[in-house]
Amino acid sequence: MALPYLFEFWAMEHQRPPEGDWRSWVILGGRGAGKTRAGAEWVRDMVEGAMPLDPGRAQRVAIIGETMDQAREVMVFGESGILACSPPDRMPVWNAGRRMLTWPNGATAQVFSAYDPEALRGPQFDAAWVDELAKWPKAQDTWDMLQFGLRLGDAPRVCVTTTPRNVPVLKQVLKQSSTVVTHAPTEANRANLADSFLTEVQERYAGTRLGRQELEGVLVEEAEGALWTAAMLEAKRVEEVPDLDRIVVAVDPPVTGHSGSDECGIIVAGVRMSGAPQDWKVYVIADASVQGVGPTIWAKAAVDAMVDWGADKLVAEVNQGGDLVEAVIRQVAPNVPLRKVHASKGKVARAEPVAALYEQGRVHHARGLAELEDQMCAMTLRGYENKGSPDRVDALVWALHELVLDQRRDGRPQLRSL
């Protein structure tokens, strides 16, 4: 029966090769998102012709995994590997001595390890399947050697299947104009995964930066010299927030209010006042930020966050809007306790003492703050090294200054501009 082998009938959108003139197709996916099946089926699509003995578009294929064992056991012999996907009349033969698959039409695929980039010096190919590029030990050298070998045919191509990691070689490939990308989270392949697996990993990792990478398949970048690192944030993550003595909501309003405007950063944080102020522990509880909305909407979102979390004060930066910011907030909640703050220093100067609190182990994060944490890990001493503006970080900074950094030795607020 041919239907099980007609992948175009079963494939999910992220598993279908994009149209157009591309050289590298990168499939970014969470664990179990169906990346291996997509890569194996792409190899089939490249080497098979209309009939079993007819030539396909590719005759010489490179198959590269992290190690030789992983390439063989996952990409060739795995449950979603090439042999498992191939129909009986087009089944390639494995030659262990040569580490090579040979199809009935004469096409071949040779297996390589990323531990041995020099093995790619000499052979030439018209297609390649690269698996888990982001975790290769000699990634750049191996990728470079492959590019020199992709020189057969009219338009040699490579399919990259990988869970994203913040590594230079992957970011370099993604920036190439000849690269196209498809993406899928683990959840997209739910029908082929055990329910217990999804339940377990989602309970443990949902709402964390690791979950964004391993489950959502999102490239979580971390700038060189960042004030915060993923390891720092994960080390102090908590599953439950204790009873807090104070909770505030901090808001960094956008300059404008339309679909293309910056985010309105809205961060909820609280403090547990045990001992002297220098010993207090801060908990970042929630991120209620909104984007592309008018002033009344973001003001309502901030006031709603106060109500939801029992906050005793709203802290709002007023540099951009002046009295208008207060007027909008008062329109939504006339009697809300409000502290207006003015930024007299740059973003980095304001953020550095907050980063120091993290280095001292005094700040903990609840789950669900992945987008805030992405911005934090892009904030360096040189400035914010990502697209847009770090509005969530700005709101976080104002919240922690209000809760801890602006407190006098007696625990009373010490109001000042930053």
pLDDT score of 408 more than 50: no
What is the Cα–Cα distance from 184 to 199, expressed in whole angstroms?
18
48 DSSP 8-state letter: B
Measured N-to-C along each axis, helices 391-400 and 347-359 cross at an angle, to the nearest 10 degrees, of: 60
**Token reading at 411:** 């625990």
The pLDDT score that the predictor gives to residue 129 is: 98
Contacts of 73 (CB under 8 A, 6+ apart): none
Other CB atoms within 10 A of residue 98 CB: 11
| pLDDT confidence bin for 413, thresholds 50/70/90 | very low
Q: Which residue has the higher pLDDT, 411 or 219?
A: 219
Query: What value does the mean pLDDT take over residues 389-402?
Result: 95
Say which residue the tokens 């922690």 belong to: 400
Phi and psi angles of residue 371, each rounded to the nearest 5 degrees, phi first: -70, -40
Strands 24-29 and 246-252: unpaired
Burial status of residue 102 (CB atoms within 10 A of its CB: 0-12, 13-18, 19 or more) = middle
Q: What is the number of H-type helices and E-type strands within the chain?
A: 14, 17
| CA–CA distances in Å: residue 66 to residues 70, 145, 254, 320 | 7, 15, 45, 51
pTM (2 decimals)? 0.66
What φ, ψ does residue 173 adopt, rounded to 5°?
-65, -45
Q: Which residue has the higher pLDDT, 129 or 189?
A: 129
Q: What is the pLDDT of residues 256-265, one digit of tens each?
A: 655 456 789 9
Percentage, residues of the chain above pLDDT 70: 93
Lowest mean pLDDT: which of 157-161, 186-190, 319-323? 319-323
* pLDDT of 203: 77
- Say how far residue 150 (Cα) sits from the centre of its chain: 29
Of 9-23, 100-114, 370-384, which has the strongest mean pLDDT? 100-114
pLDDT digits (tens, 9 = 90+) for 303-359: 999 999 999 999 999 876 567 889 999 999 999 999 999 887 788 988 999 999 999
Sequence-ordered list of residues with C-beta below 8 angstroms from that of 9, at least 6 positions apart, any chain: 3
- CA pair distance 148, 132, nearest whole angstrom: 20
Residue 95 or residue 345, greater confidence: 95
101 within 8 A of 92, measured Cβ to Cβ: yes
What mean pLDDT value characterizes the chain? 89
Per-residue confidence (pLDDT) for residue 339, from 0 to 100: 94
pLDDT at 143 over 50: yes
At 165 the pLDDT is 85
Helix (H, G, I), strand (E, B) or coil at 68: helix
CB count within 10 Å of CB 225 equals 10
Q: Are 160 and 36 in contact (CB under 8 A)?
A: no
H or E element in which residue 24 lies: strand 24-29
**Which H helix or E strand runs over 251?**
strand 246-252
- Rounded CA gap, 110 and 126, in Å? 12
**Beta carbons of 120 and 145 less than 8 angstroms apart:** yes
Q: Is 413 in a helix, a strand, or coil?
A: strand
- Residue 82, pLDDT > 80, answer yes
**Interatomic CA distance for residues 107 and 129, integer angstroms:** 14
Q: Residue 234's Cα: distance from chain center in Å?
A: 15
The pLDDT score that the predictor gives to residue 320 is 64
Give the 3-state secondary structure percentages of the chain, helix then strand then coil, rounded to 5.
40, 20, 40
* Residue of 165 and 413 predicted with greater confidence: 165
Burial environment of residue 91 by CB neighbours within 10 A (0 to 12, 13 to 18, 19 or more): middle
Q: What is the pLDDT of residue 321?
A: 56
Contact residues for 75 (Cβ-Cβ < 8 A; gap 6+): 36, 39, 40, 63, 65, 81, 82, 111, 129, 131
The predicted model gives 56-69 an average pLDDT of 96
pLDDT band at 32 (very low <50, low <70, confident <90, very high): confident
SS3 state of residue 183: strand
Tokens in use for 374?
A: 């992405």
CA distances from 81 to 9, 113, 135, 142, 328 (A): 18, 16, 19, 22, 59
